[in-house]
Amino acid sequence: MEVVVESGKILDIEAEILLLTFFEGEETLSGTAKLIDQRYEGLLTRIIQEKDFEGRLYQISVVYNRMQEPVKRIAMVGLGKKADFDLEKLRGAFAKAAQYVRSLNIKTLTSFVNSSEWSDSRFTLSELTEAVVEGTLLGLYQFTLFKTVDREKIKDMDRLLLVEDDPDRYHIVRESSRKAEAIARAVYFARDLVSAPGNEIKPRNLAEKALEMASSREKIEPIVFDEKQIRKLGMHALLAVAQGSHEPARFIVLKYKGDKDREEIIALVGKGITFDSGGISLKPSENMGEMKSDMAGAATVIATIMAAADLKLPVNLVGLIPATENLPGGCAYRPGDILNSLSGQTIEVITTDAEGRLILADALTYAGNYSPEAVVDIATLTGACVVALGNVAIGMLGTDSNLKQQIAEAGERTGERVWELPLWDEYFELIKSDIADYKNTGGRNGGAITAAAFLQKFVGNYPWVHLDIAGPSWLDKDRPYVPKGASGIGVRLLISWLRGLTKKD
Ligand code: BES
Ligand code: MN
Ligand code: ZN
């Protein structure tokens, strides 16, 4: 699937299908729609007058004109009420329209960035273009790698064609669509990793994928630590979780240097449990297969670094990924075990199913080595966060209000919204252990918070935010531009945050 921006007049362009957007409740046509309507003998007026198409959000109609040229079909998609318009609706409308057009087996979707109709300068041309391209590409994602029967029946679109007449606008649309393409490609990469089953993506495979990604990009320096090296580093909490599996753990480090003139670095830490059975504290079997997605945080970090490099963001990043399976093998760590973490602090294991915080604890301590200006960890950490926020929002907790604010704003911009939970002193009481420094669970109540409180004990002297994506990382129902399954959430959020820091678009 490619995105092409072509200079030309929308009225002259030849197309299999031309996509037009409409607001709800607007009886008279204006702008390009009006011109097209005139050319095709009132085709659009007719369907609107008959109320067969009303512009309701995501409503779609396809009309065929008798002349068949230069445009064979016109797809109409509703944006809902104009007063409610935002980028999220625009992404969704293009996604829904593109999915419909794909179902007709049409290979090229032609449209344009209709900024003057969509918003009165509330959003820039760049923002609108990015929303169009991201919405279309993300909405068309499908995970077909393991389908071998009737592959030819899988419908796939080849091209999104955006037409732009004005030369100044053309350059902006082209630039922005390239950026959006890079971001969407990174989200695809994350979704592919998360969708892949646990027998395909084990810690070593995850490391390979990270190395592969880095090798085709300048400015990314990867280092993968094997178990021997992890032991030498002293990451015994990570090693304890890995004990139960024959698959060795990995600690993956990806350095991206986008700003040579500065030493400051931001660390992104991602939970890389390639399969979480719960360990000796075995999970119930129902839906256990979904726990192949317990490395979604890791996938987000790898993909974010990929996108940052492709966008040439002028920031310095280090991605830190502790990767292991959590299995109940004969050498598995047990409830009751006491672990010595990299920080030197000891942890009493109450349940082997609270493994994410153990591997993140060591990675957060390690992050301190970089004296980072900020650390964001992202993890499918707790079922409690799913109970609290469902799959609609990311749980956010942290120590730095400035950083939290920046990330919250990026969440609004991207639709990958975060919701803050508190980290008050009382919660820290719940993770005190009688015989070690901390225990790895604070009980059922407030589980998302006590997990973060545990992490904070291993956070160094740097601003820190924790993002719990246990809910939104895996969807069991389609969203307009997120097909069910792996969402790839966090990539667009983190990239938007990083772009905001560098101010330059
Ligand atoms: N990976 C799970 C959290 C999870 C649950 C992610 C549901 C996605 C969907 C994590 O390792 C886990 O098992 N957490 C436990 C912690 C508890 C035992 C303290 C949980 O939330 O139940
Ligand atoms: Mn677990
Ligand atoms: Zn887990």
Index of the ligand 1 atom closest to the CA of residue 283 = 13
Q: Which atom of ligand 1 is nearest to the CA of 354?
A: 16
Q: Is 437 exposed, middle or buried (0-12, 13-18, 19+ CB in 10 A)?
A: middle
Q: What is the DSSP code (8-state) at residue 249?
A: P
Rounded (10°) angle between helices 87-103 and 125-139: 40
The pLDDT of residue 305 is 98
User: Mean per-residue pLDDT for 409-425?
Assistant: 98
Euclidean distance between CA atoms 214 and 195, whole angstroms? 21
Which tokens in the block code for residue 345?
């602090």
Would the pLDDT of 207 be above 70? Answer: yes
User: 252 and 202 in contact (C-beta within 8 Å)?
Assistant: no
Residue nearest to atom 16 of ligand 1 (CA): 354
337 close to 349: Cβ distance less than 8 angstroms: yes
Quick one: pLDDT at residue 226? 98
355 Cα to the center of ligand 2, angstroms:
5
Give yes or no for a cis peptide into 70 (omega within 30° of 0). yes
Q: From the candidates 357, 439, 457, 499, which is the catalytic residue?
A: 357
List the residue whose alpha carbon is closest to atom 17 of ligand 1. Answer: 354
Phi, psi of 253 (to 5 degrees): -120, 125
Per residue in 136-147, is it b (16+ CB within 10 Å) or e — as a string? Answer: bbbbbbeeeeee
Task: Report the length, in residues, of the chain.
Answer: 505
pLDDT at 307 over 80: yes
Residue 227: the pLDDT is 98
What is the CATH class of 2-187? alpha beta
Kindly tell me if the per-residue pLDDT of 466 is higher than 80: yes
Residue nearest atom 9 of ligand 1, based on CA coordinates: 470
Which pTM does this prediction carry? 0.98
Asked if 272 contacts 323 with a C-beta cutoff of 8 angstroms, the reply is yes
Q: Which helix (H) or strand (E) holds 220?
A: strand 220-225
Whether the per-residue pLDDT at 436 is higher than 70: the answer is yes
Residue 385 alpha carbon, nearest atom of ligand 1 = 21
Residue 504, pLDDT above cutoff 80: no
Alpha-carbon distance values, 451 to 323, 441, 457 (Å): 19, 7, 10
pLDDT band at 503 (very low <50, low <70, confident <90, very high): confident
pLDDT digits (tens, 9 = 90+) for 344-365: 999 999 999 999 999 999 999 9
**For residue 381, what are the CA distances in angstroms to 82, 217, 272, 427?**
39, 30, 11, 17
- Residues with C-beta less than 6 Å from any ligand 1 atom: 276, 294, 351, 353-356, 380-384, 386, 441, 447, 470
Instruction: Decide: 366 and 462 in contact? Cβ < 8 Å.
Output: no
Residue 500 has pLDDT above 60, yes or no: yes
Take atom 22 of ligand 1 and give the residue whose Cα is closest: 383
Residue 73 annotated to the active site: no
Ligand 1: distance of its center to the CA of 328 in Å?
16
Which ligand 1 atom is the nearest neighbour of the CA of 443? 19
Q: How far is CA 294 from the centre of its chain?
A: 14
pLDDT of residue 505: 47
**Could you write out the DSSP letters of every residue in 267-324?**
EEEE-EEEEE--TTSPPPSTTGGGGGGTTHHHHHHHHHHHHHHHTT-S-EEEEEEEEE
Write down the number of H helices and E strands in the chain: 16, 20
Please say if 107 is a catalytic residue. Answer: no
Q: What is the mean pLDDT of residues 21-35?
A: 93
Q: Whose CA is nearest to atom 7 of ligand 1?
A: 383
Between helix 491-502 and helix 296-310 the angle, nearest 10°, is 40
Q: Which atom of ligand 1 is nearest to the CA of 440?
A: 19
The Cα 292–Cα 274 span in angstroms is 6
Right CATH for 196-390+462-488 from 3.40.50.620, 3.40.630.10, 3.40.50.11900, 3.40.718.10: 3.40.630.10
**Beta carbons within 10 angstroms of residue 128's beta carbon:** 21
Ligand with the closest atom to the CA of 439: 1
Distance 279 CA to ligand 3 centre (A): 10
Token pair, residue 132, equals: 């169009």
Ligand lying closest to the C-alpha of residue 351:
1
Res 410 pLDDT > 60: yes
Ligand nearest to the CA of 447: 1
Ligand closest to the CA atom of residue 470: 1
231, 283, 334, 479: which one is catalytic? 283
Considering only CA atoms, which of 267, 277, 274 is closest in space to residue 296?
A: 274
CA of 119 to the centre of ligand 3 (A): 43
Cα end-to-end distance, the chain, whole Å: 25
Q: pLDDT at residue 140 above 70?
A: yes
Distance (Å, rounded) from C-alpha 300 to C-alpha 457? 24
pLDDT of residue 120: 80
Indicate the DSSP class of residue 84. Answer: G
Q: Ligand 1 centre from 357 Cα, in Å?
A: 10
Cα of 241 to ligand 2 centre, how many Å? Answer: 10
Q: What residue ranges do the domains of the chain occupy?
A: 2-187, 196-390+462-488
pLDDT value, residue 65:
84
Nearest CA, atom 14, ligand 1: 382
